[in-house]
Each structure stands twice: as structure tokens, then as C-alpha cells.
Chain A
């Protein structure tokens, strides 16, 4: 009896005897817990489940059937998947590179003391705030034979281009919209990066007789390196996931020329009801994005080493 009576009050006292650092850590974990729980339930569990589904044949209604790595092996020889991967890579390369150049150029321009600068900045940002579906519908009309784009080309004696109805031009039509929409978004990020560079560096360079190009090359670009990495990683990830514009404007055609990987994943899952195969494609896409991101981070951190 006496042992029980003396042992009982010890436990809470031990708990209370936490030092300040431990208490702060505990408090931090408690605050983090809801966010971590949400991420776990709505992000990581679905990702794990997608991987699990990728090992099955599953049409949503009948019970899943385990097929091991069959879905992944099949994809390696599937001309439709390989074509979609090729279209996605082409979209990423031909949309992201111009976006990097244009967004940086616009950021440099709008960082200068020009008249009505805020008005121009706001106007440039308009494509970002417009809903993607609206963008796609407006551009569909603009690309028509008698639309704005062909009318402008006509002023220069250029015949109408069948933008959305030609397997040669359709991907370019989608890429142009991607560039138009993404450029102002990354411009704002570059602008923030530019404004973080201390003006003293430029003043010192000017005293040393540096011209604008030298300043840009030796001050702006090196100090924008973290921002550039962020823009590159984000833009590639976003471009890899392009979906709404090709879905609405071309449905992946003509002749598969705009069937980017996310669109093909969607069709495989929700038109063909092959959830396992679609999940395997998603795993491929995830792996590709991860590899590319790690490669970019590595590339940028090499100089710092």
C-alpha cells in the first residue's frame, strides 16, 4: 500500500520537469500536428495509394487485381504513352525556356523607374488571374481562321494558320498560351528577387565604369541565382502538369499531337477506367519531375561548392 501511495504522484512531476527547450519543442510539434496530419491524409496517403493502385488492374467498380509491375513494364512498350511523354517533354522545353527569358526580361524592365510602372505591372499580370478555362475558350476563338491571330498575320501577307487543326501547329498553339500565362507569374518572382539586391552593388559598379550589360551579367544574374532556381523548378513542374488547355482546346489531337502526359493519364483513368495503368503513368511522371528537380538543384549548387 505504502509503495503505491508514494509512486503514484511521481509520473506527473516527471512530465512537468521538462526544461524550457523541450517544452518549446513540444509546443512547436503541437502546432505542426494539424498541418502534418492534413498533409499526411490528403497528400501522402493518396500518393501511397496511387503507388499501390499502380500495381493492380482496377476499373473502380470491380475489385482490384494484383498484377505486380505489369503496368510499368507495359508502359515502356506502349507507343501512346511514349508519344505522350515526348509531347510533354516538347511542351516543357519549348514553353519553359522562353518563359525564363521573357519573365526575367520583363522583371528587369518593370524594375526600372518607368512611367506608369504599376499600371504596366498590373496589366502584365492579367493572364495569371484569368481562369484557365476562360483563357482556353478565348484563345480558341482567337486561333480560328478568321480570329485575331490570323487577322494580324494577314496584315503581313501570311496565310491563315490552322492553329488547332493541324498536327504541326497545334502543340505550338498550346505552348504560346502556356508562355503567355506563365511569363507574368514568374516575372513577379524575379521582380521580388531583383528588389532584394542591394543598390550599393550597382552604385559601386557604376563608379568602376561598368555598363548595363556588365552589371546584369556580374551582379544581377549571380545574385538572382536562388530566385532563378525557384523559377526553373516551379515552371518545369507546372509545365509538366499542363492539362486544362489541351483538354479544352484540342482534346489531345489532332492525331495525338497535343496529348500531354497529364491529359493521357486523365483519359486512361476516367475515360478508359484503367486506374492501375493511369496510376503507373502518374508514378512515372512523379519520378521524372523529381529527377529533373534534383538535377536542377544539383546544377545550381555546384557553383556554390
Chain B
């Protein structure tokens, strides 16, 4: 009698299991109930427009998913995210400068990539879809936590018209080394009395993070590095860094006028776009801005200047998507699925936002073939290290920026300033 009473219940359990209800170890099914996820990203016109298109397209595929976007300025995003994550109000999908993810990982707020969503069996298999080192910024202890939607090279943009006015050919005379670049400066730089009316070349002075962006590859070109791979030792006053900063100063004296610039954090390329600077180092994402400026298509892009072109060192930086670990399982599943959907068309990212995803096969797409100087950007990516990865990246950038500005603006000695920067960074790292 007891068995007879229990039988229907047992039968029901067996039927439910066989019918595909989730069991431990099996792939989690995409939720069929309504799910709302929050996505945060940084403001950049073409990028924002494209992500909004992607949201609409995804909603058509999954009508039960609602995606709420929040857009913040690139300079505010890190603090907004950190505060929200601390308060438990962080988004499901976050967008951050790749160099910040080391801190988010250390604070335990990142969910590793869902391999089943990406249809791979291991992180190695997922990494295999990207160019060598393409996922280095978001890989921790062998697990992939973030996926970049842009991995930008830093290359030298030349204003063809200004070159022609100086009697130079942007193809033949384009500099390969820093010495080549300095040799061009007397022809390109124009000063009237005390007023600089044209700069030949300029380093960035609107943001310490941009300064580190240039000093890092220059230091590597002299055979050094800013920070050890484990992030526990700084080499800011090592001979290679001192040589790099000394070169920075000499190039600035010959080519630029850092006291005179309209570049700001929100308009970092302004002097180049205005035709005030003939040569400027920036990323491929600036291409649509250049084309929309009076320069239009009259520009040339060449590789990041080198100390020794036989041993090239460049820098790659970017922004990446990450998923918040402290969200419900169904949200995390949908979040990774949406990230996969967003990243599925690298050629569209290039065409619509000017961002280069460091995935294999981008160069072969039609869009890449039409994108101005895409081969140059990709060549610079191949010889690049990712932007400094450290929990203290902002403090290191501040220390570097302080040294650079003291040398450039006040004529201070590079070694003395880098000694001070080293002391400041060592203190921070030890803590």
C-alpha cells in the first residue's frame, strides 16, 4: 500500500528529470521567464549608437530579456562602477578600461567567462579565437574573466597637408625612429615671436594615463619595463625608464610646445584635428574623428616610433566587457550570452565604432580591408604589451605623470623625478 502511494511521486520525479530539468553538471538552459539585465558602458558617440542597435537586435531574438543601459563618461566609469559594486547595485554587464579589471578581480566581483555559452571546452580554446595575448588583460590564474571589444594599438598619425607644406612626403619621409622624428621637427614646427603656431609632434599632457601609455613602450624600447610581471616591483628609476623620459624631454624640446594645447580628457586629439600638431600618437578609434575633421582623408598612419626598428615595442590598450559575480545565476547566463552576441561581429565594431577587436580573422574582413591603415594598426598590435596591469595603476600613472610634467614644464632632472616617482610607487605597492 505504501509503495503504491509513493509510486506516482517517484514516477513524477523520474519524468521531470528525463524531461530535461536542470541537473548538477548539465548545461544551464537559457531562461524562458522574463529576465532584466543592466549594462553599463562608457560614452563615445559611435560606440553608444552601435551598442543600442545590438540591444534592439538581441531583444528581437529573446523577447523575454529586457536590457537596461546606463552610460557614463569614460573618466567617471571606474568610480561609478566601484561605488555601485560596493553598494550591491552594480550592473550585470560592466564595461571598464582593461587595466582596471585586475583590481575588480582582486576584489572578487568578476564572474569567469561561461564556457558553455561560448561553445568551448576550455579557456585555452576560447583564447585560441583571439590573437596572441589578445585576452591577456582579462586572464587571471588561467581563467578568462573579461572579453575586450577594443584592443587598440597606438600609432603615429601624420597630417599630409602639413607635411606637404613643409616640403615633406608623408610616405617617404614618415619617421620610423625617434631620431627620424626629431629630424623632421625643425621643418614642421612654426613659431612666431613667442607664439607657437604649429607643433611638429606632441606627447599627451591632458591625462597621466595617456602619458603612461607612451612612456611604457618607450621604456620597453630601451630594454626595460615599468613594473614586474607579478606587479610587485617597480622599475621607474631604472636606466631604461630614465632614458625613455630623457628622450621624451628631448623630443618635446625639438618638436612640441606642451604649454600650448587644447587637448582635454574628453577631446584628447583636438590639437591634431585642428591642424595645430602635424604628428600625433593615437589609436585607430580616432580614425572616424579625423575623417570628420578638416583633415578628412588626407592623413597617413605609420607605426609607433622606435628606438631600434629591428626590436619594436608598442602598446595596446582597450576596454572590455565583464560580468558581475554577485548577480543571480540566470542573469549571469543571459549577461554572458549578450556579451557573446555583442562581440560576434568584429567587422561591425570596426565599421561602426572604429574599434579593433583582437580576434583572429579581423584583417581578412572587407571592412578591415577598407579601413584606413588597418595593416599598420595590426602590425603595432603584434609587437605590443598590454597597458600596465596593476591594482595601483592610477597611482602609478599619477607618479609617472608628475615626473613627466616636472621634467617638461619645470626643466627638472629626469632621474631625480623618477627617483621620487619610484619612491611613491614602491610605498603604494608595499601596502
A residues at B contact (CB < 8 Å): 57, 59-62, 79-80, 144-146, 159-160, 162, 165-167, 251, 253-256, 267, 270-273
Contact indicator B82/A253 (Cβ below 8 Å): no
The 9 closest A-B pairs by CB, nearest first: A162-B259, A60-B86, A165-B259, A159-B194, A61-B107, A255-B405, A270-B79, A255-B406, A254-B405
A to B CB contacts below 8 Å, 5 in the list = A61-B108, A79-B424, A167-B410, A267-B394, A271-B78
Q: Which residues of B contact A159 (CB under 8 A)?
A: 193-194
Decide if A273 touches B401 in the complex (CB within 8 Å). no
- Verify if B370 is at the interface (C-beta below 8 Å from A): no
Whole-angstrom distance from the CB of B189 to the nearest CB of chain A? 15
Please encode chain B, from 234 to 267, with 1 for each CB lying within 8 Å of some chain A CB and 0 for all others.
Answer: 0000000000000000000000001111100100
Contact for B394 among A80, A255, A271, CB less than 8 A: A271
A167 touching B259 by the CB < 8 A rule? no
* In the complex, chain B residues whose CB is within 8 Å of the CB of A271: 78-79, 394, 398
Q: Is the CB of B207 within 8 A of A145?
A: no
Contact A267 B398 (CB under 8 A): yes
- Nearest Cβ distance between residue A304 and chain B, in whole angstroms? 48
Q: Which residues of B contact A267 (CB under 8 A)?
A: 394, 398
Q: Is B343 an interface residue (CB 8 A)?
A: no
B395 at the A/B interface (Cβ < 8 Å)? yes
Q: Does B83 contact A (CB under 8 A)?
A: yes
Which residues from chain A contact B431 at a C-beta distance below 8 Å?
57
With both beta carbons as reference points, the residue of chain A lying nearest to B397 in the complex is identified as: A271
Chain A hits for B405, CB < 8 A = 167, 253-255
Cα A210 to Cα B176 in complex, Å, equals 80
Contact A254 to B85, CB < 8 A, known contacts A144-B262, A145-B196, A159-B194: no
A273 and B82 in contact, given A162-B259, A165-B261 (Cβ under 8 angstroms): yes
A165 to B206, CA, bound (A): 10
Are A166 and B409 interface neighbours, CB within 8 A? Answer: yes
Asked whether B172 is an interface residue with its Cβ less than 8 Å from the other chain, the reply is no
1/0 per residue, CB under 8 A from A, across B32-55: the answer is 000000000000000000000000
Q: Please, how many angstroms separate the alpha-carbon atoms of A80 and B424 in the complex?
A: 9
**B260 in complex: contacting residue of A165, A167, A273, CB < 8 Å:** A165
Given A146-B195, A271-B394, 18 other A-B residues pairs in contact with their CB atoms under 8 A? A61-B108, A61-B109, A79-B420, A144-B260, A160-B195, A160-B260, A165-B258, A165-B259, A165-B260, A167-B405, A167-B406, A253-B402, A254-B409, A267-B398, A270-B82, A271-B79, A272-B392, A272-B395
Residue B103, interface by CB 8 Å:
yes
**Chain B contacts of A79 at CB under 8 A?**
420, 424
Residues of B within 8 A of A (CB): 78-79, 82-83, 85-86, 103, 107-109, 193-196, 205, 207, 258-262, 265, 392, 394-395, 398, 401-402, 405-406, 409-410, 412, 420, 424, 431
A256 and B86 within 8 A (CB):
no
Q: Return chain A residues, CB-CB under 8 Å to B194.
A: 159-160
Q: How far is the CA of A159 from the CA of B259 in the complex (A)?
A: 13
Q: Are A255 and B409 interface neighbours, CB within 8 A?
A: yes
* Contact for B195 among A145, A254, A270, A272, CB less than 8 A: A145
Verify B424–A61 contact, CB threshold 8 A.
no
Give the distance in Å from the alpha carbon of A166 to the alpha carbon of B258 in the complex. 9
Contacts of A62 in B (CB 8 A): 107-108
Check B82 against A61 for contact (C-beta < 8 Å): yes
Q: How far is the CA of A251 from the CA of B398 in the complex (A)?
A: 11
CB-defined contacts of B260 to chain A, threshold 8 Å? 144-145, 160, 162, 165
CA distance A33 to B108 in the complex (A): 43
Find chain A residues with CB under 8 A from B108 CB.
61-62
- Known contacts A165-B205, A271-B79; A255/B410 CB under 8 A: yes
* Cα-based distance from A146 to B258 in the complex (angstroms): 15
Q: Which residue of B lies closest to A169 (CB)?
A: B259
Residues of A within 8 A of B409 (CB): 165-167, 254-255
Complex contacts, B394 vs chain A, CB 8 Å = 267, 271-272
Q: How near does chain A come to B404, taking the closest CB pair, in angstroms? A: 9
Nearest-neighbour CB distance to chain B for A66, whole angstroms, equals 15
CB distance from A184 to the nearest CB of B (A): 28
Name B402's contact: one of A61, A144, A256 (CB within 8 Å).
A256
> CB-CB < 8 A to B193: which residues of A?
159
Contact A60 B262 (CB under 8 A): no
Residue of B nearest to A62 (CB): B107
